Chains A and B, each alone.
Chain A
Amino acid sequence: MKSDPENRTAGDLLLDMRNIHIEGFSDDVWHPIIKGVDLKLHRGEIMGLIGESGAGKSTLGKAAMGYAQPGCRITQGTIEFDGLNLREMDDAHLRQLHGSRIAYVAQSAAASFNPAHRLIDQCVEATVDHGLRPADEAKSDARELFAALQLPDADTIGERYPHQVSGGQLQRAMTAMAMSSRPDLIIFDEPTTALDVTTQVEVLAAMRDIVEQFQTAAIYITHDLAVVAQMADVIKVLRYGETVEDAPARQMLTKPEMAYTKSLWAVRSLEKPQETSEDIILRVNGVDASYGGAIKVLEDVTMDVPRGSTVAVVGESGSGKSTMARVITGLLPPTKGDVLFNDEPLPLALKDRSKDQLRRIQMIYQMADTAMNPKHTVRDIIGRPLEFYLGLSGKKLDERISKLLSMIELDDSFMERLPNELSGGQKQRICIARALAANPELIICDEVTSALDQIVQEGILKLLLRLQKEFNITYLFITHDIATVKAISDQIVVMFQGRVVEQGMKNDILSPPHPDYTQLLLSSVPEMDPDWLTRLLESRAQSGAMNASGN
């Protein structure tokens, strides 16, 4: 069953899945997850499997190993791997394939490494267990793989335990683990989703190089189109457990056939002309903040928000951008500095603010699921601020709720629904309506679109822009997604490690020259161009000159 890497000929059919049906068990019934999907993969080929959450891409990826995750079952179809029928194989033979000829790289490396064993032991475990190589040989090979994947201290890092290395390093170690047995096929299951953009670039580059070097075929599962554009030779788009479109990567990016595929691309085209105003509604002035300890989460942060415009605060996790929102809302009183609203200082602590001050600043959260009480109906949720701030009741209240629902493009039939009776996008719309109900002047949007699927994101962003025009609302838009920033902002504030790196008009910030960090951040954001990663790496190799591929 062993295959010699030297004898691999690219182009032969390696994996042939035909008419796959998979069902999942929930709410006491089996319901279909994958409804008749075909998948063909040739040797040395990388297939990008994309789709929104719930499209069944991860389930399909695991099925390519002949494995149905707990709570799922494969009901129909054939899975042929190099001429072997995986569905008819017994467990013992399937195990012989797993970890030797087919390997898997999981989304969360931190949870998928056993905390009790050293990295290198886990990396070579399958190779040694399957008798492919003796332990010491496998280990020295693993060290070479670590080096190839550009892990620091490649000779010794394997002696560490999983909790002793960073997330990006773990993800690379897991790639080394998959590669250790020189498999014919690797399944990458959203391997970079949990990483920051700047880390993601390094991991992507390392994975792509090693897969190319060994001519390994791979299925790369992701929801991020730009990432898949860098990795894949062919792309398969899934939706509701069915194939929407199959095409070579370049063709798919330039000439998508199906309307759904086109709509996935469309969000990138949303663009807003930048505007500004001299009237400053919110001024954050020299603010320091910390969570009790000595470590400052924010240090000397100053920024201005002009009325009626959208200011985007960008930065990676740990940059302090969410803490800034907490300071402005009064949840975390700053240790130094002040916050001016309409030129008047706001009381720093929430409890000292008046009802009217609270009303003027509203907030919308990233996870609409947790931002609404699951036991309250839509009427309760939207109605409460109306009662609380404006003292509406009875018929007036109902009319106003109905008006707000129509503003967010929903109708009265939603009034009595509970949050779990709404879809993701509808939930976020209700949250917007709740904020709107207070007649606010400023709305803080904390990553409001990042938990949503591409097509829904677009709808929400359009809605926000329309409401801004209608009611002259100011947005403070916290996000890590540069594409969203380009689409809706007027001004940009770049944050890094609790400090403001840069603030300015969108077009100024997005065009060179940049400070070093802004440069790194902007250049790390994957673009829809399949050559983007190659060019980026080349330009970075040329000593990080300023002429990196910008827009």
Chain B
Amino acid sequence: MSTDDQTYSAAGEVASVALRRTWWDRTWRSLKKAPVTAWFGMIVIACYMVVAVFAPFVAPYGESEIFETPYAPWSSEFWFGTDQLGRDVLSRLVYGARNTIGIAVATTALSFLIGGSLGVMAAINRSWLDQALSRFVDVLMAIPSLIFSLMLLSIFGSNVINLIIIIAVLDATRVFRLARAVSLNVVVMDYVEASRLRGESLTWVMRRDILPNILPPMVAEFGLRFCFVFLTIASLSFLGVGIQPPTADWGSMVRENAQLISFAEYDMKAAMTPLLPACAIALLTVAVNFVVDWFLHKTSGIRDEK
């Protein structure tokens, strides 16, 4: 373009305009530019999902099939040995993926359903509803969530349904805060005002104006909340008040096999057994964190400038 064009035309006007690209094209481009850590994370998550979904086909034995020797050493028959009751550790790890991840995903989804919808509603409404919900959430958040869930579990008793509901409700407070904050940023935009001036209904504004614009931060938050929920559930199970036996789950597997660590001098492999489920937990959270980190970096456009 010449510096000195005399004819002005609206269609020819260029500024710092983003290029037109299709969704697939954009996604592929950003994937190609994704750092190694993000790729690593995505591959790990994919592997976990395959294992969790196809658990019965992947696991060599049944979830709670009991064999003769408890604490059997690592061998070709039992790759990672057996546990205190004589169950195959590898099989329990595989089923554990299904149970632990499944419960964590369900909990996170429930907490987003509750916290997300209330948060968006509070942001639009901005009156008594917002006030009431926000104060209520402030109080709930004043109690550390692990402590609160311990207390509630002691009252309602530990089972999977209670676990999911309690943690989802407590975690929904944080989702509410974020959903409300990001929606507030959207609600003050002129285009929302324009929709209201047009006479659009609340549901239209929520669905068409707000939702598409708060999606990226909420997706990132879903990853982070999933990690948090996953770790909380694992911790509770580890403490013996989360997922109850005989359901295989990684937190309680650590606890059940913990004594083996003291045999490290005699059998290093056996001592590693309790660390395997812990490692499985850590690997997944690291993977999710890596992906979220990249995603946030990409969508927020925030760059560490030099």
Touch A–B, Cβ below 8 Å:
yes
Q: Is the CB of B33 within 8 A of A421?
A: no
* Contacts known (A331-B193, A373-B212); A459 close to B305, Cβ less than 8 A: no
* Contacts known (A350-B197, A373-B209); A456 close to B306, Cβ less than 8 A: no
The digit string for B1-16, where 1 denotes a CB below 8 A from any CB of A, is 1011110111101111
Most buried by B among A330, A376, A423, A463: A423
Residue of B with least CB distance to A405: B11
* Contacts known (A71-B306, A422-B17); A240 close to B197, Cβ less than 8 A: no
Contacting residues, chain B, for A423 (C-beta < 8 A): 13-15, 17
Question: CB of B135 within 8 A of chain A?
Answer: no
* Contacts known (A70-B305, A71-B305, A358-B199); A409 close to B194, Cβ less than 8 A: no
Q: Is the CB of A371 within 8 A of B191?
A: yes
CA–CA, A25 and B19, complex, Å: 17
Contacting residues, chain B, for A365 (C-beta < 8 A): 190, 194
The digit string for A425-456, where 1 denotes a CB below 8 A from any CB of B, is 11001000010001000000000000000011
The one of A350, A370, A376, A388 that contacts B190, using a Cβ cutoff of 8 Å? A370
The digit string for A392-413, where 1 denotes a CB below 8 A from any CB of B, is 0000000000000000111100
Dominant SS at the A interface?
Answer: mixed
Question: CB of A92 within 8 A of chain B?
Answer: no
The one of B4, B194, B208 that contacts A259, using a Cβ cutoff of 8 Å? B4
The digit string for A455-479, where 1 denotes a CB below 8 A from any CB of B, is 1100100010000000000000000
* Contacts known (A71-B305, A374-B213); A54 close to B16, Cβ less than 8 A: yes
Question: CB of B147 within 8 A of chain A?
Answer: no
Question: CB of A32 within 8 A of chain B?
Answer: no
The digit string for B200-211, where 1 denotes a CB below 8 A from any CB of A, is 100000001100
* Contacts known (A260-B3, A365-B194, A388-B199); A410 close to B15, Cβ less than 8 A: no
- Which residues A175-197 have CB closer than 8 A to chain B? none
- Which residues A205-247 have CB closer than 8 A to chain B? 239-240, 242, 244
* Contacts known (A409-B10, A456-B13); A244 close to B198, Cβ less than 8 A: no
The one of A26, A28, A385, A388 that contacts B33, using a Cβ cutoff of 8 Å? A28
The one of B6, B16, B19, B194 that contacts A371, using a Cβ cutoff of 8 Å? B194
Question: CB of B189 within 8 A of chain A?
Answer: yes
Contacting residues, chain B, for A19 (C-beta < 8 A): none
A417 to chain B minimum Cβ distance, whole angstroms, is 6
Contacting residues, chain B, for A242 (C-beta < 8 A): 3
Contacting residues, chain B, for A384 (C-beta < 8 A): 198
Q: Is the CB of B198 within 8 A of A358?
A: yes
Q: Is the CB of A425 within 8 A of B193?
A: no
- Which residues A302-349 have CB closer than 8 A to chain B? 329-331
Contacting residues, chain A, for B6 (C-beta < 8 A): 259, 263
CA–CA, A422 and B85, complex, Å: 67
B221 to chain A minimum Cβ distance, whole angstroms, is 18
CA–CA, A363 and B193, complex, Å: 10
Question: CB of B196 within 8 A of chain A?
Answer: yes
Question: CB of A93 within 8 A of chain B?
Answer: no
CA–CA, A416 and B21, complex, Å: 11
Interface residues on chain B, number (Cβ under 8 Å)? 35
* Contacts known (A239-B3, A259-B4, A429-B10); A375 close to B213, Cβ less than 8 A: yes
Q: Is the CB of A260 within 8 A of B4?
A: yes
Q: Is the CB of B197 within 8 A of A410?
A: no
CA–CA, A139 and B191, complex, Å: 50
Question: CB of B18 within 8 A of chain A?
Answer: yes
Residue of A with least CB distance to B188: A370
Contacting residues, chain B, for A416 (C-beta < 8 A): 20
Contacting residues, chain B, for A425 (C-beta < 8 A): 10, 13
A401 to chain B minimum Cβ distance, whole angstroms, is 16
B68 to chain A minimum Cβ distance, whole angstroms, is 60
Question: CB of A507 within 8 A of chain B?
Answer: no
CA–CA, A355 and B199, complex, Å: 7
A37 to chain B minimum Cβ distance, whole angstroms, is 12
Residue of B with least CB distance to A70: B305
- Which residues B15-33 have CB closer than 8 A to chain A? 15-20, 33
* Contacts known (A25-B305, A371-B190, A373-B213); A240 close to B198, Cβ less than 8 A: no
Question: CB of A367 within 8 A of chain B?
Answer: yes
Residue of B with least CB distance to A239: B3
The one of A353, A370, A409, A434 that contacts B11, using a Cβ cutoff of 8 Å? A409
The one of A26, A329, A375, A411 that contacts B212, using a Cβ cutoff of 8 Å? A375
Contacting residues, chain B, for A353 (C-beta < 8 A): 199
* Contacts known (A54-B16, A244-B3, A370-B190); A459 close to B196, Cβ less than 8 A: no
B28 to chain A minimum Cβ distance, whole angstroms, is 15
Q: Is the CB of B10 within 8 A of A420?
A: no
The one of A25, A71, A363, A429 that contacts B194, using a Cβ cutoff of 8 Å? A363
Q: Is the CB of B191 within 8 A of A385?
A: no
Question: CB of A424 within 8 A of chain B?
Answer: yes
Q: Is the CB of B4 within 8 A of A258?
A: yes
Question: CB of A488 within 8 A of chain B?
Answer: no
CA–CA, A115 and B118, complex, Å: 37
CA–CA, A238 and B177, complex, Å: 46
CA–CA, A411 and B11, complex, Å: 7
Q: Is the CB of B10 within 8 A of A331?
A: no
B276 to chain A minimum Cβ distance, whole angstroms, is 39
Contacting residues, chain B, for A372 (C-beta < 8 A): 191
B56 to chain A minimum Cβ distance, whole angstroms, is 42
CA–CA, A365 and B19, complex, Å: 25
CA–CA, A535 and B8, complex, Å: 36
The one of A260, A376, A410, A421 that contacts B19, using a Cβ cutoff of 8 Å? A421
CA–CA, A496 and B11, complex, Å: 39
Q: Is the CB of B305 within 8 A of A424?
A: no
Q: Is the CB of A373 within 8 A of B191?
A: yes
A223 to chain B minimum Cβ distance, whole angstroms, is 14
Q: Is the CB of A388 within 8 A of B200?
A: yes
The digit string for A6-49, where 1 denotes a CB below 8 A from any CB of B, is 00000000000000000001101000000000000000000000
Query: Given contacts A330-B197, A373-B212, A434-B194, could you give 7 more A-B pairs where the C-beta distance is less than 8 Å?
Result: A25-B306, A26-B303, A28-B33, A331-B197, A373-B209, A388-B198, A421-B18
Query: Which 6 A-B residue pairings sit nearest by Cβ, starting from the closest?
Result: A375-B212, A423-B15, A371-B190, A71-B305, A70-B305, A409-B10
- Interface, chain B (partner A; CB < 8 A): 1, 3-6, 8-11, 13-20, 33, 189-191, 193-194, 196-200, 208-209, 212-213, 303, 305-306
Q: Identify 17 residue pairs between A and B in the complex whose beta-carbon atoms are under 8 Å apart, listed by A's number.
A: A25-B305, A70-B305, A259-B4, A362-B197, A373-B191, A374-B213, A375-B213, A409-B10, A410-B10, A420-B18, A421-B18, A423-B13, A429-B10, A434-B194, A438-B198, A455-B8, A459-B8
